[in-house]
Structure 1
Amino acid sequence: MPDAVLIGLGSMIGAGIFASLAPAARAAGSGLLLGLALAAVVAYCNATSSARLAALYPASGGTYVYGRERLGDFWGYLAGWAFVVGKTASCAAMALTVGSYVWPGQAHAIAVAAVVALTAVNYAGVQKSALLTRIVVAVVLAVLTAVVVASLTSGGVDTAHLDAGADATFGGVLQAAGLLFFAFAGYARIATLGEEVRDPAHTIPRAIPIALGITLVVYAAVAVSVLLLLGTDGLAAAGAPLTEAARAAGADWLVPVVRVGAAVSALGSLLALILGVSRTTLAMARDHHLPHFLAAVHPTFKVPHRAELLVGAVVATVAATADVRGAIGFSSFGVLAYYAVANASACTLTPAEGRPARIIPVVGLAGCLVLAFALPVSSVLTGAAVLAIGAAAYAIRRTLSRQA
């Protein structure tokens, strides 16, 4: 149980909280905390549905497998496509987070350099280890704790900043929840542990709410402390909100510590994300859902080198041209579409197959769809267009295969 919870924390408590607070504050205003709570509810439903499906289908691939087995080949493919494009945008957001905290004036250049460096690391076959996960979690928790303590003990705290005002609109709260969902998006890692833990049917369903609960408490503490110091307007305008909070608290010594913590967290997340996206690309290429030449594995390094290079090139391009808010919005749209398929798949389970309480996948499915379409218009239009391109490619491939 402790190890499963730690893996969940390592997947969730990371660079997302450093990056998503400011764009969420711009969307929700003083309703930021309501958006955080709503994002956590949707995340819980998604993770629970994924856990029940993972127990039934322990093969790697996640919702790519669940959708195919429960809903049909197209829905599995669409989930895999949404995952690849959504997590590619997540990579860009992580890279831009590194740039925003390390060298704000050259954020895009630093982001591209980080992508190139970590693509080279992955190409050589170096993967993120369990020990590194523990180190990253410890560093990030220490930095976040320091920010919370420094903020709450400073003389600049103003409790009026927590009051909900007229700027907290329903649509804004929904949009903030969609953006903050980005910070929870690693929770499903627990759901894939079926072959790695003792008594998975008992351990996994308990580990998920524990890890999500701890993450929510940490995120809420950070959000409240930063709001108390900066207020909604100050938080919304901050390029690196936790650094600005440290300055506002008068803890100048903490500024470089926050920068290092954000960089360590974002680089760890970026390394794991590039690894995951390239492996999903490999699996889809082997199934001929993506160009088959991407299925090649390097004879020496034993990695999907063509997929690695393609993912790295796409991420570097996005990181060079997009802003953090745009990358987070597009990522959230793709990942929410992915989990919508997971919840729809869970709705088809029978009690004998371990179906969760019916309300969980129903709320999860509805929540994913609502939050996805509440995101900024540019993210919705771009995300919908990319999903449509994926669907069209699938239809063309099926038509050609039938004619052959």
Structure 2
Amino acid sequence: MTDHPTLARRLGTADAVVIGLGSMIGAGVFAAFAPAAQAAGTWLLVGLAVAALVAYANATSSAQLAAQYPTSGGTYVYGRERLGAWWGFAAGWAFVVGKTASCAAMALTFAAYAAPPGWERPVAATAVVALAAVNYHGVTRTAGLTRVVVTVVLVSLGLVVLAGVVGGDPDWTRVLPAGAPGGGGGAVGAEGDGLAAVPGYGVLQSAGLLFFAFAGYARIATMGEEVRDPARTIPRAIQLALGAAVLVYAVVAATLLAVLGPEGTASSAAPLADLAEAGPWGWAGVVVRVGAAAASLGALLALIAGVGRTSLAMARQDDLPGWLAAVHPRHRVPHRAEVALAGVVVVLVLTVDLREAIGFSSFGVLLYYLVANLSAWTQDEDHRRFPRALQVLGAVGCLALVVTLPPTAVLVGTAVLGTGLALRAARLHHRRPPSRHPRR
């Protein structure tokens, strides 16, 4: 990779933490709790804890690998270096395809909150172009704008939680799982859904849905080539960002259960809006709308940066077209990869409804982290920062959460992954030099 122009190392620990938070505390916090509560009922916080535990195990693997390989690409690079080119390609392909769908979903989520009726798709496309332009002009601008977005989102979440606690008549016994001392309620999905009636399955299903909201810390690792002192900064930033996100999600989830109850949370199309309106402050609903729009923009901004850098790394190894490996001579960003990504996402938001793309994206994310855990397992003691037991936990957790995803998401994800692998095999076969030995 030394033959290619490198990116500039301009990010410190605080910048990296902010980018990670901007990726995690995104639109998912405004939408993920309803389906998760439908799956787990009063066990929602247990599902959140499972998702956080799997995310932490994956985060330690990513941090450990990023410290040894401080370059752009994340698990695509780690898989190539530790397991082989095919493993790296599988991780990189899953990340790029899944997160491209996530970019479109975030843009559409922003437009759903911010655009007047009938203008959602044009507004979503405009947001993609605008944020791609921010990324194009340098990673420090990305970090600066993400800091503003994270601040707006955290303030709005704080006000909404306060509104619910002050005027929502919270019943904190509903926070405890059914059957626990003092707990109340039951499994929301028990009626008409035999699988949801099984507590273990419901908890895993809710964890799989909530894991999607935690996956943003990978953005820190994919930007390893732009972080100062990466061996120290990346592990610290990943753990700090993940810990802050877990705290925010736990507070929001507990308040939702206490004010709306598991049934109310599960049946709501916008649970945080309902939480805000449960209190005496009528203007809190507007705060939710602003916060959701800002969160979607923050997630989209970080996604564009992360996908662009993984595409850069893949192009450097000829796993994507070589022209995507270009680095802007002034701004030191993968400008062609980001422009190409923006073009694809604009087409998607103008033509496709991606509300069901969460499951497909989760499939790709979990596969990506499975490769990360397997790669970290192979590291020697000189580069090991965490025990191997965490890599086992992360790998098993990824596989366990995959089986809870909707069957359609698993089938589509498997088909897309297989298509990418087949195209790579065909390309390698085409490039293979002819045999020098004539046939006899």
TM-score class, shorter-chain normalisation, is: 0.7 to 0.9
Deviating more after overlay: 229-238 vs 1-10: 1-10
Q: For residues 295-321 of structure 1, give each alpha carbon's deviation from its aligned partner in whole angstroms, at most 9, with x where no partner exists.
A: 567899886665445423432444453
Query: What secondary structure sits across from 1:322 in the alignment?
Result: coil
1:362 shift after superposition: 0.7
1:391 has 2:421 as partner? yes
Distance 1:204 1:98 in 2: 29
The answer for unaligned runs of 5 or more in structure 2 is 1-11, 179-185, 190-195, 435-440
1:376 shift after superposition: 1.5
Q: 1:78 corresponds to which residue?
A: 90
Contact 1:111/1:316 (<8 A) preserved: no
Cα 1:108–1:38 change in 2 (3 A) is farther
Q: 1:114-153 to 2 correspondence within 5 Å? A: 114-118=126-130, 121=133, 125=137, 128-153=141-166
Distance 1:295 1:7 in 2: 23
Q: 2:352 corresponds to which residue?
A: 321
| Residue identity opposite 2:420 in structure 1 | G
Contact 1:68/1:74 (<8 A) preserved: yes
| Residue identity opposite 1:315 in structure 2 | V
1:183 has 2:195 as partner? no
Deviating more after overlay: 281-290 vs 157-166: 157-166
Distance 1:208 1:121 in 2: 26
Match of 2:81 among 42, 66, 69: 69
Query: What secondary structure sits across from 2:254 in the alignment?
Result: helix
| Residue identity opposite 1:132 in structure 2 | L
Distance 2:367 2:282 in 1: 41
Cα 1:155–1:58 change in 2 (3 A) is closer
Contact 1:194/1:200 (<8 A) preserved: no
| Residue identity opposite 1:141 in structure 2 | L
Q: 1:218 corresponds to which residue?
A: 248
1:311 has 2:341 as partner? yes
Query: What secondary structure sits across from 2:432 in the alignment?
Result: helix
1:39 has 2:69 as partner? no
1:379 shift after superposition: 1.5
Cα 1:114–1:17 change in 2 (3 A) is farther
Distance 1:120 1:134 in 2: 17
Query: What secondary structure sits across from 1:239 in the alignment?
Result: coil
Distance 2:390 2:229 in 1: 25
Query: What secondary structure sits across from 1:381 in the alignment?
Result: helix
Distance 2:381 2:135 in 1: 44
1:109 shift after superposition: 2.3
Distance 1:271 1:195 in 2: 16
Rg larger in structure: 2
1:257 has 2:257 as partner? no
Distance 1:281 1:50 in 2: 18
Cα 1:329–1:114 change in 2 (3 A) is farther
Distance 1:277 1:147 in 2: 32
1:19 shift after superposition: 3.0
1:95 shift after superposition: 1.4
Q: For residues 136-162 of structure 1, give each alpha carbon's deviation from its aligned partner in whole angstroms, at most 9, with x where no partner exists.
A: 222111111111111111144244543
Q: For residues 228-251 of structure 1, give each alpha carbon's deviation from its aligned partner in whole angstroms, at most 9, with x where no partner exists.
A: 233333323333322222122242
Cα 1:293–1:2 change in 2 (3 A) is closer
Distance 1:105 1:231 in 2: 31
1:269 shift after superposition: 1.9
Distance 2:431 2:344 in 1: 28
1:288 shift after superposition: 2.2
Query: What secondary structure sits across from 1:14 in the alignment?
Result: coil
1:82 shift after superposition: 0.9
Distance 1:285 1:54 in 2: 19
1:115 shift after superposition: 4.5
Deviating more after overlay: 185-194 vs 374-383: 185-194
Deviating more after overlay: 152-161 vs 55-64: 152-161
1:50 has 2:62 as partner? yes
Q: 1:15 corresponds to which residue?
A: 27
Query: What secondary structure sits across from 1:278 in the alignment?
Result: helix
Cα 1:244–1:103 change in 2 (3 A) is farther
Distance 2:318 2:115 in 1: 41
Cα 1:70–1:297 change in 2 (3 A) is closer
The number of equivalent residue pairs is 402
Contact 1:20/1:328 (<8 A) preserved: no
1:29 has 2:41 as partner? yes
Distance 2:421 2:267 in 1: 38
Q: For residues 310-347 of structure 1, give each alpha carbon's deviation from its aligned partner in whole angstroms, at most 9, with x where no partner exists.
A: 423432444453343x2222211111111111100011
Cα 1:276–1:198 change in 2 (3 A) is closer
Distance 1:267 1:226 in 2: 24
**Scaled by the length of structure 1, what TM-score is found?**
0.88
Identical columns (%): 55
Contact 2:72/2:224 (<8 A) preserved: no
Distance 2:168 2:99 in 1: 40
Q: For residues 335-365 of structure 1, give each alpha carbon's deviation from its aligned partner in whole angstroms, at most 9, with x where no partner exists.
A: 1111111100011112123252110111111
Contact 1:115/1:312 (<8 A) preserved: no
Distance 1:158 1:110 in 2: 42
Distance 1:103 1:26 in 2: 28
Distance 1:316 1:363 in 2: 38
1:194 shift after superposition: 8.1
